[in-house]
Amino acid sequence: MSLTKAQLRAEIKTALSKLSDESILKKTFEINLHLQKLIQKKKLVGAYAPLKAEPQWPLCDGHESWAFPAVYKNEMVFKKCAFPELVEEKVVGLAIRVPAVDAQIAVPEILIIPGLAFSLNGERLGRGRGYYDRYLEHFTGVRIGVCFEEQLLAKIPCEDHDAKMHLIVTEKRVVKIEEKL
């Protein structure tokens, strides 16, 4: 019997809640090393402000051109800013860090995308709001999913609107699904 998306989300959240802060930081360090080899210095990179059980900042140490997601008119956009410039805001019931309201909207060339789970085929299981799926419908740049090895599964429930990643980076490996970099 295969799990539904809701059941898989609950299972993954439970597994992530058992990771210690030290373990998360160690895994993040290894993910960061992989990302540094992949990310081209001159590109505008869209990233995310991490929740507790996601790979933490800094991602891709030393990269200087960043954009972060914000919700604008119920759709996700990316705005240019540095990580320290993010402000805390309540979005969809979570306290997250977002760019300032007056930050410039930009279209990244590369996106570093979190998820609750990824499949070896590049499928992503998000948190269920669909913001990334809607954004990725028209995004033509490189999609890099980041997660811990425990979140990389052989298969996940997938629907037609679910966007696939080009690469997935964990602390142990880089999975290339489609050559884009």
User: The domain spanning residue 148 has which CATH number?
Assistant: 3.40.50.10420
* Residue 82 within any structural domain of the chain: yes
pLDDT at 92: 67
Classify residue 13: in a domain, yes or no: yes
In this structure, is residue 181 part of a structural domain? Answer: no
Q: Which range marks the domain in which residue 37 is found?
A: 5-176
Q: Count of domains in the chain?
A: 1
Q: Is the pTM of this model over 0.85?
A: yes
- Let me know if residue 151 belongs to a domain: yes
Mean pLDDT by 10 residues, the chain (181 residues): 86 94 96 90 90 86 87 90 91 83 95 95 88 93 96 89 91 91 64
23 occurs within a structural domain: yes
- Which residues are CB-neighbours of 40 under 8 A, at least 6 positions away? 110, 181
H-type helices in the chain, by residue range? 5-17, 21-38, 131-136
Task: Return the pLDDT at 158.
Answer: 84
Q: CB pairs under 8 A, 24+ apart, for 133-139?
A: 133/161, 133/162, 133/163, 134/75, 134/76, 135/69, 135/75, 135/76, 135/77, 136/111, 136/163, 137/161, 137/163, 139/107, 139/111, 139/163
140 belongs to a structural domain: yes
